């Protein structure tokens, strides 16, 4: 049973996220989740949260509807050196940060350039997760990414939205298979994420599950099975 989902977006993300954090928490509770992470888009995304919004999350409630809440951010990777769009003071006030490439902020590069962008972001001490690095528009060297994820103590995300029939990142299945097999060989955990914009898909990993079975991916390496394991990972324990 999956107990957590930490890549979700509230109305603060703009572009189609119409539900509040309370509504996300209600849905998480109804679907049996014990922990919900809200990771709204960082300021370089149009209509997304400002730096002051993210700083204010330090005062937000830690439990709603019986669900524990973590507050993070989905950062934009801005260049091939892996720079991101929130300052370290703001990032230090959050529970975690996901770093992702989005087309409005960084045009697709070569395999070497895209790989370097992800690696640079992983070396940021406040980045805990690399988001949807399966994107077919941004080919990358997954052997390097998994090796760096292990070295930098970063989770690679397996993104349900990428694998959905109406996904817009191209056919990501082979990339996801490669990530899963390399993480399996390295004994490194992965994070399953809904990437839900609004409440509709909170806790939905249904498009991921067939590939997990196909790759015979060990349950012990799926961090969504344990809230304690996720929190230990985020704390580098």
pLDDT value of residue 16: 67
Is the pTM for the entire model greater than 0.95?
A: yes
At 197, list the tokens.
């914009």
Instruction: Answer whether residue 168 shows pLDDT above 90.
Output: no
**How high is the mean pLDDT of the chain?**
96
Instruction: Answer whether residue 171 shows pLDDT above 80.
Output: yes
At 182, list the tokens.
């390399």
Instruction: Answer whether residue 17 shows pLDDT above 80.
Output: no
What digits encode the pLDDT tens for the residues 97-154?
999 999 999 999 999 999 999 999 999 999 999 999 999 999 999 999 999 999 999 9
Strands 190-193 and 155-159: parallel
Residues 66-84, mean pLDDT to the nearest whole number: 98
pLDDT value of residue 237: 80
CA 135 to CA 130: how far, in whole Å? Answer: 12
Instruction: Answer whether residue 64 shows pLDDT above 80.
Output: yes
Residues 11-24, mean pLDDT to the nearest whole number: 89
At 149, list the tokens.
């994820």
Tally of CB atoms within 10 A around 12: 18
DSSP track, the chain: ---EE--EE-GGG-TT----HHHHHHHHHHTT-SEEEEEEEPTTSTT---HHHHHHGGGS-SEETTEEEEEEEEEEB-STT--BSS-HHHHHTSSEEEEE--TTTS----HHHHHHHHHHHHTSTT--EE--TT-TTS---HHHHHHHHHHHT-EEEEEHHHHSTT-SS---HHHHHHHHHHHHHHT--EEEE--EESSTTTT--TTTHHHHHHTT--GGGBGGG-HHHHHHHHTT-
Tally of CB atoms within 10 A around 17: 21
What digits encode the pLDDT tens for the residues 177-217?
999 999 999 999 999 999 999 999 999 999 999 999 999 99
CA 32 to CA 2: how far, in whole Å? Answer: 8
pLDDT band at 15 (very low <50, low <70, confident <90, very high): confident
Widest Cα–Cα separation across the chain: 46
Instruction: Provide the CATH topology of domain 4-234.
Output: TIM Barrel (3.20.20)
């Amino acid at each position: 049973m999956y107990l957590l989902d930490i890549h979700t977006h509230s109305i603060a993300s703009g572009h189609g996220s119409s539900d509040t954090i309370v509504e996300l928490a209600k849905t998480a509770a109804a679907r049996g989740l014990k922990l919900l992470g809200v990771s709204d888009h960082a300021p370089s995304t149009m209509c997304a949260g400002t730096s002051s919004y993210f700083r204010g999350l330090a005062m937000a409630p830690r439990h709603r509807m019986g669900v524990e809440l973590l507050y993070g951010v989905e950062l934009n990777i801005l260049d091939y050196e892996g720079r991101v769009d929130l300052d370290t003071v703001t990032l230090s006030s959050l529970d975690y940060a996901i770093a992702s490439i989005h087309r409005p902020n960084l045009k697709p590069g070569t395999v070497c350039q895209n790989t370097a962008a992800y690696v640079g972001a992983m070396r940021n001490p406040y980045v805990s997760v690399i988001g949807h690095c399966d994107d077919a528009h941004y080919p990358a060297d997954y052997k390097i990414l998994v090796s760096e994820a292990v070295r930098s103590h970063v989770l690679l995300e397996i993104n349900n939205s990428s694998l959905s029939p109406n996904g817009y990142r191209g056919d990501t299945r082979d990339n996801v298979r490669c990530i899963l097999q390399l993480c399996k060989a390295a004994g490194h955990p992965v994070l399953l994420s809904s990437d839900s914009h609004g409440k509709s898909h909170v806790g939905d990993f249904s498009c991921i599950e067939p590939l997990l079975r196909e790759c015979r991916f060990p349950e012990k390496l799926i961090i969504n099975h344990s809230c304690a394991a996720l929190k230990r990972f985020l704390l580098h324990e």
